[in-house]
Structure formats: C-alpha cells, structure tokens
C-alpha cells in the first residue's frame, strides 16, 4: 500500500520542478520516469484509503480513494505518460512543468474528499494549464489564453462562493452528493459545468484548445473536462437537468464540428460532444450509467489524445491545420493516418475499438431507464461523430483532393505515443473486461451481443453511405463560425465601449451644465450687486416684521434656548 503521506499529486507536483532545469537526455528520462512513478503510486492506492487532516478548525481530506476516483486517477497518470512521450522532443521546460503541474492538480482534484481541497486543486489546474496555450508564443494564443483564464477565473469564483454557501448551510465541507436546490447547489453546479464545457458555458474550449501548442492540446483535452465529469458524477448524480444538457452537448458538438475548418478545433468540438454523453450518464445516475460515464471518460481520454496527436502531428509537419489547406497526406504520412483512424474508429464506437465498449453502456443505461428520446438523440450524435471525425476529417486531410504537400512522417516519439494510445484503444475494444473490472460499480453488460453489433454496423454503414453520396458538399469552408464567445469577444466589448462613451458623454454634459449654471449665477450676482437692491433702504415696518418671523422660527425650533 502506498505510504499515506505520498499523495500522487504531491509526488507529481514536486517531481515537475526538475523539468524546469533538466536538459537533453536527463530531462527526457525524467519526463518518462515521473509519470511512470505516479502511475505506480496510483496503482498502489487501495480503494477505501482516506487521509484527513485538521487545519484551521476544518477537517480536510486531501486523499479519498474509491472506485470512482481511482478510475480517473489511473487514466490521468497513463495519459500523462503517453503525452510526455509525444512531447519528448519539445525543448521548452515551461511546457513540461505546466503539463506535469496540471496533471498533478487534476489528480489532486479527483482525490479531494472535501470542497476546500478540491477548490485549491481546481485553481492550480487553471493556472498551470494556461501556459500550455501561451507557450505557442503567438498573439492569437496569447489572447485565447487570456480569455480562457478569465472564464475559468469566473468559474473558480463561483465554486468558491458555492463552497462558502455550502459550508454556511450544512456546516460541512465533505465532498459528497449535493442535495437539490439552494444557492450552493447551483453555484457549484455552474462552476463544474463551465469546466465540463456545457453550452452556453463552453466557448472557452474550442476557442483556446486549438490555439495551444501541438503537445499542449493533448494534455488539455484530457484533464479539465474529465475532472469536471468526475466532480459531476461525485456531486450531482441523478440530476435530471444534466440528462438533457448532456444530450444537448452531444448534438451541439457534432453540429459545430461540421462547421469549423481547423482540424484541431473540429476535434475540440467533439470533446464537447463526447463529454455530453458523460454528463447525460451522470444525469441518468443509475449504477450502470455512472459506470458507463467512468468507462467512457477512460476510453475518451485515450482516443481523444490519439486523435489530437494525429492532428498535432499534421500541424507539426505541415505548419497547417485547415481542412481547406490539407489533403492527400497519406502518401508521406501513412502511419499517422492509420493511427488517427484507430482513434476515429474508437470515438465512433466501431466494434473492436474502445468507444464501442464504453459509449454503448451509457446509451444502454438510457434505454434501460426507458428514455426513448434520449436514446435516439444519442444515436443521432453517434451518426454525427462518425461523419465528421472518422470520415470528413481524415478524408479531407489524408485522402481526398491532393494539396500537393509531401511532409515527412511524424517523428518516432510521436508515432510511438500514438501507437501506444492506439494499442490501448484496440486492447480495450477486444478485452472490455479489463476496463469493466476497474469501474466504480460492477456492471452486467455485454457490448458484443448480435443485436448491439447489428445496430452499430447499420448505423455506421448507412452514415457512411450518406457521407459518400454527399462528399462533394462536405469539404471545409474557409470561414469562421461564430459561437458564444462572440458575446464576450465582440458584443461585450462593444457594450463596454458604449457604456464608456455614455459615461464620458454624461460626464461632459454634467460639467457643461454645471459651468453654465455657475455662469448664470455669477451673472445674476453681478447684476444684483450693480442694481444696488441688497443695500436699498428698508421700511421700518417691514424690518420689524421679518425680525419677528426670524425670532418666531428660533423659538419654535428651540434654537433660542
């Protein structure tokens, strides 16, 4: 058993620091050894382990390991290892430190047994991850990173306010399922949904992820949204709102994925779509659905990393990431193409690949729960996923019209990283029992029944038919697709400027009016003085009257005594 003091987040967080100074081979060795050690450390934690400490009168639980937290911890450590192989040749210590600290904070968040610990790791995640965007070192990335930071700072504030409200209401900080209703419930839920990228709180994701570094996007795709899925599963299982929100996410993601031209942005929208399945699973809330959610988070992290590594390799080797500028790359990048396709078949729930054994659990949970419309809408999102991720993107990038680009194959370390991820996608697909064994609840589910296989093959084949019939209309468009970030990038800016102008104008108007009134007063005073009216002679009777009035007022108001 792991020593109680050796929290995996602490091990990884401290282990990240040498990456800032190590160079060359030593840095590469440590980059692989560190996540391997963390993976071993996480594997060494037994379910039921709980470490608590008293601080400032509060009982904090920095380590609470159970079936739900461990499945997320395993995959976080594993994807850090794979991502570090992919980033092995990146000569930028800041990125390596940021990735490791980001992963450490994600581990800390899934092991947090109380809301204060969760909040602290939540904020570290934001501060560490933004560097993976900024280290792209161009203006677009810098601005996108700032927007990412501001949105998440808002989310962090909402979480903080929610934690305080929760403590004031319940007198507890334990991170357990929250009771419906109340301010704390909604504040914490909104904060979690921002990180889960649930529309309309999602725009930070497709805005920022495609602007991150080639390797940074791989880490970004793994931790933030999946930590959000974990905390939703922990805090809000069975919340009905999440079922519809989740299904809305699946369809929103696939629709926007069609619209965009940048291949990494297309994949970013599919993160929203796939996280939608998980959010819906949390909303359904049955043991089958929660286990399905955990299973899908596990497989999703692997295949999404694989897809983004494939798209990243294309960007790295060609310097381009727009569908309209790519095409025919299979000639010189066949390995990248085939490995990408493994990710594509996995995300589309193609039998024998990982998505088939995880996504179908959530769909099955919806069916078992008697939710026919949800079941159908999830199937429709599956159609969209196959169309854009597995058909459109690879067709117009690797096959299709030849762009004339002949880049060399991705470097060996990148191919190895993609190869490991692809192997795991395939292994989970053919041996789902390995994944099912680590889920939070034991499930009685077999993906490989004749009925499931037949349904899935019909879905994929006839989606393919529609694609090939309409392929000439489906190429990328060199256009930008507005999303909700328009409200703070354009409308919000315009509103701020309009308010600024209004205030400035009002300020000038008030000053002008004041000066005009002052001028009038001055003129009146001058005229009064020149008229001699104040120093004219007064009749004695009139003077006596006014003296009496003044004395009476003093008497009435008691000022005379």
Partner 1 sequence: MQSQATSPLAKLITAMIERARLLRGLMIALMVAAVAIDFIKPKAYSRFFWDGIPAFTAIYAFIGALVLIGLYKAVGYGLVYRRADYYQDSAKATEQDKQ
| 413-437 b/e (C-beta count within 10 Å ≥ 16 → b) | bbbebbbbbbebbbebbeebeebbe
Q: Which residue's structure tokens are 């069916």?
A: 367
- Considering beta carbons, is residue 411 or 455 the nearer one to partner 1? 455
- Considering beta carbons, is residue 197 or 474 the nearer one to partner 1? 474
Binding of partner 1 at residue 155 (CB under 8 A)?
no
Binding of partner 1 at residue 376 (CB under 8 A)?
yes
Binding of partner 1 at residue 499 (CB under 8 A)?
no
Binding of partner 1 at residue 411 (CB under 8 A)?
no
Q: Which residue among 29, 168, 482, 554 contacts partner 1 (CB under 8 A)?
A: 482
Strands (E), 262-410: none
| 522-559 b/e (C-beta count within 10 Å ≥ 16 → b) | eeeeeeeeeeeeeeeeeeeeeeeeeeeeeeeeeeeeee
Smallest gap from residue 293 Cβ to partner 1 (A): 21
DSSP state for residue 45 in the 8-state scheme: P
Binding of partner 1 at residue 448 (CB under 8 A)?
no
Binding of partner 1 at residue 463 (CB under 8 A)?
yes
Taking Cα atoms as reference points, which of 415, 395, 430, 434 lies closest to residue 306? 415
* DSSP characters over 110-166: HH--BHHHHHHHHHHHHHHHHHHHHTT-SHHHHHHHHHHHHHHHHHHHHHHHHHHHH
Pattern 292-331, binding to partner 1, x per CB under 8 A? --------------------------------------xx
Binding of partner 1 at residue 370 (CB under 8 A)?
yes
| Axis-axis angle for helices 287-318, 216-235 (nearest 10) | 170
Binding of partner 1 at residue 471 (CB under 8 A)?
no
Binding of partner 1 at residue 334 (CB under 8 A)?
yes
Binding of partner 1 at residue 489 (CB under 8 A)?
yes
Of the candidate spans 109-117, 151-159, 437-445, 475-483, the one that interacts with partner 1 by CB under 8 A turns out to be 475-483
Binding of partner 1 at residue 478 (CB under 8 A)?
yes
Spacing of C-alpha 253 from chain mean position: 13
Q: Which residue's structure tokens are 């995880």?
A: 358
Binding of partner 1 at residue 399 (CB under 8 A)?
yes
- Considering beta carbons, is residue 414 or 459 the nearer one to partner 1? 459
| CA gap 193, 229 in Å, rounded | 9
- Spatial neighbors of 274 by CB under 8 A, at least 6 apart, are 250, 253, 296, 300, 304, 347, 359, 385
Q: Which residue among 450, 530, 539, 540 contacts partner 1 (CB under 8 A)?
A: 450
Binding of partner 1 at residue 49 (CB under 8 A)?
no
Smallest gap from residue 486 Cβ to partner 1 (A): 9
Q: Which residue among 134, 192, 337, 350 contacts partner 1 (CB under 8 A)?
A: 337
| CA gap 237, 357 in Å, rounded | 22
Of the candidate spans 110-118, 127-135, 283-291, 469-477, the one that interacts with partner 1 by CB under 8 A turns out to be 469-477
Tell me if 144 sits within 8 A of 207, measured CB to CB. Answer: yes
Binding of partner 1 at residue 379 (CB under 8 A)?
yes
Binding of partner 1 at residue 37 (CB under 8 A)?
no
Smallest gap from residue 18 Cβ to partner 1 (A): 39
Binding of partner 1 at residue 156 (CB under 8 A)?
no
Phi-psi region of 349 (alpha: psi -120 to 50; beta: other; left: phi over 0): left
Binding of partner 1 at residue 412 (CB under 8 A)?
no
- Considering beta carbons, is residue 36 or 416 the nearer one to partner 1? 416
Binding of partner 1 at residue 338 (CB under 8 A)?
yes
- Considering beta carbons, is residue 68 or 414 the nearer one to partner 1? 414
Torsion sign (Cα): 209, 215, 218, 224: negative
- How many Cβ atoms from other residues are within 10 Å of residue 371's Cβ? 19
Binding of partner 1 at residue 162 (CB under 8 A)?
no
Spacing of C-alpha 192 from chain mean position: 9
- Considering beta carbons, is residue 500 or 520 the nearer one to partner 1? 500
DSSP state for residue 58 in the 8-state scheme: E
| CA gap 243, 241 in Å, rounded | 6
Tell me if 279 sits within 8 A of 196, measured CB to CB. Answer: yes
Smallest gap from residue 328 Cβ to partner 1 (A): 9
Q: Which residue among 461, 502, 526, 545 contacts partner 1 (CB under 8 A)?
A: 461
Q: Which residue among 53, 157, 465, 506 contacts partner 1 (CB under 8 A)?
A: 465
Binding of partner 1 at residue 211 (CB under 8 A)?
no
- Tokens in use for 195? 């990180």
Smallest gap from residue 385 Cβ to partner 1 (A): 10
Environment class of 509 (CB within 10 Å of its CB; exposed 0-12, middle 13-18, buried 19+): exposed
- Of residues 243 through 282, those in contact with partner 1 by CB under 8 A are 254-255, 258-259, 261
Of the candidate spans 181-189, 287-295, 342-350, 478-486, the one that interacts with partner 1 by CB under 8 A turns out to be 478-486
Binding of partner 1 at residue 464 (CB under 8 A)?
yes
**Main-chain dihedrals φ then ψ at residue 44, nearest 5 degrees:** -75, -10
Tell me if 63 sits within 8 A of 49, measured CB to CB. Answer: yes
Smallest gap from residue 248 Cβ to partner 1 (A): 14
Residues in contact with partner 1 by CB under 8 A are: 254-255, 258-259, 261, 330-332, 334-335, 337-338, 367-368, 370, 372, 375-376, 379-380, 383-384, 387, 399, 402, 406, 409, 449-451, 454-455, 457-468, 470, 473-474, 477-483, 489-490, 493-494, 497
């Amino acid at each position: 058993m792991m020593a109680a003091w050796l929290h995996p987040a602490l091990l990884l967080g401290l282990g990240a620091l040498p990456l800032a100074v190590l160079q060359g081979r030593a840095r590469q060795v440590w980059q692989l050894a560190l996540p391997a050690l963390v993976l071993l450390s996480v594997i060494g934690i037994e379910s039921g382990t709980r470490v608590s400490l008293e601080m400032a009168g509060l009982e904090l639980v920095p380590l609470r390991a159970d079936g739900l937290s461990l499945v997320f911890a395993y995959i976080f450590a594993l994807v850090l290892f794979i991502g570090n192989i992919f980033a092995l040749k990146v000569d930028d210590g800041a990125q390596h430190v940021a990735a490791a600290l980001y992963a450490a904070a994600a581990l800390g968040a899934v092991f947090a047994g109380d809301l204060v610990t969760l909040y602290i790791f939540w904020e570290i995640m934001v501060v560490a991850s933004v560097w993976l965007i900024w280290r792209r070192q161009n203006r677009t990335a810098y601005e996108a990173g700032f927007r990412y930071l501001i949105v998440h700072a808002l989310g962090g504030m909402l979480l903080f306010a929610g934690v305080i409200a929760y403590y004031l209401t319940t007198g507890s900080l334990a991170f357990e399922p929250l009771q419906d209703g109340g301010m704390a419930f909604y504040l914490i839920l909104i904060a979690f949904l921002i990180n889960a990228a649930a529309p309309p709180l999602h725009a930070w994701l497709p805005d920022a992820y495609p602007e991150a570094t080639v390797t940074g996007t791989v880490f970004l795709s793994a931790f933030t949204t999946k930590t959000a899925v974990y905390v939703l599963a922990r805090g809000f299982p069975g919340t009905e709102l999440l079922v519809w929100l989740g299904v809305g996410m699946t369809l929103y993601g696939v629709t926007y994925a069609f619209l965009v031209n940048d291949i990494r942005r297309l994949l970013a929208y599919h993160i929203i779509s796939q996280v939608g399945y998980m959010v819906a699973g949390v909303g359904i809330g049955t043991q089958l659905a929660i286990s399905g959610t955990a299973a899908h988070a596990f497989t999703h992290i692997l295949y999404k990393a694989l897809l983004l590594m494939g798209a990243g390799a294309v960007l790295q080797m060609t310097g381009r990431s727009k569908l309209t500028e790519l095409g025919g790359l299979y000639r010189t990048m066949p390995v990248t193409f085939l490995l990408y396709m493994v990710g594509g078949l996995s995300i589309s729930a193609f039998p024998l690949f990982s998505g088939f054994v995880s996504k179908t659990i959530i769909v099955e949970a919806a069916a078992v729960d008697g939710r026919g419309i949800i079941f159908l809408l999830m199937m429709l999102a599956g159609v969209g996923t196959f169309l854009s991720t597995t058909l459109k993107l690879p067709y117009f990038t690797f096959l299709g019209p030849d762009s004339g680009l002949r880049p060399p194959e991705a470097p060996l370390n990148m191919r190895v990283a993609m190869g490991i991820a692809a192997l795991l996608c395939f292994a989970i697909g053919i041996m789902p029992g390995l994944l099912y064994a680590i889920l939070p609840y034991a499930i009685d589910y077999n993906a490989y029944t004749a009925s499931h296989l037949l349904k899935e093959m019909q879905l994929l084949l006839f989606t393919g038919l529609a694609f090939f019939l309409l392929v000439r209309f489906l190429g990328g468009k060199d256009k930008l697709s507005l999303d909700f970030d328009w409200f703070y990038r354009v409308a919000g800016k315009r509103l701020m400027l309009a308010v600024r102008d209004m205030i400035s104008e009002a300020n000038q108007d008030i000053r002008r009016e004041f000066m005009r009134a002052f001028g009038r007063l001055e003129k009146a005073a001058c005229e009064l003085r020149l008229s001699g009216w104040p120093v004219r002679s007064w009749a004695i009777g009139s003077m006596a009257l006014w003296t009496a009035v003044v004395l009476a007022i003093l008497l009435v108001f008691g000022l005379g005594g």
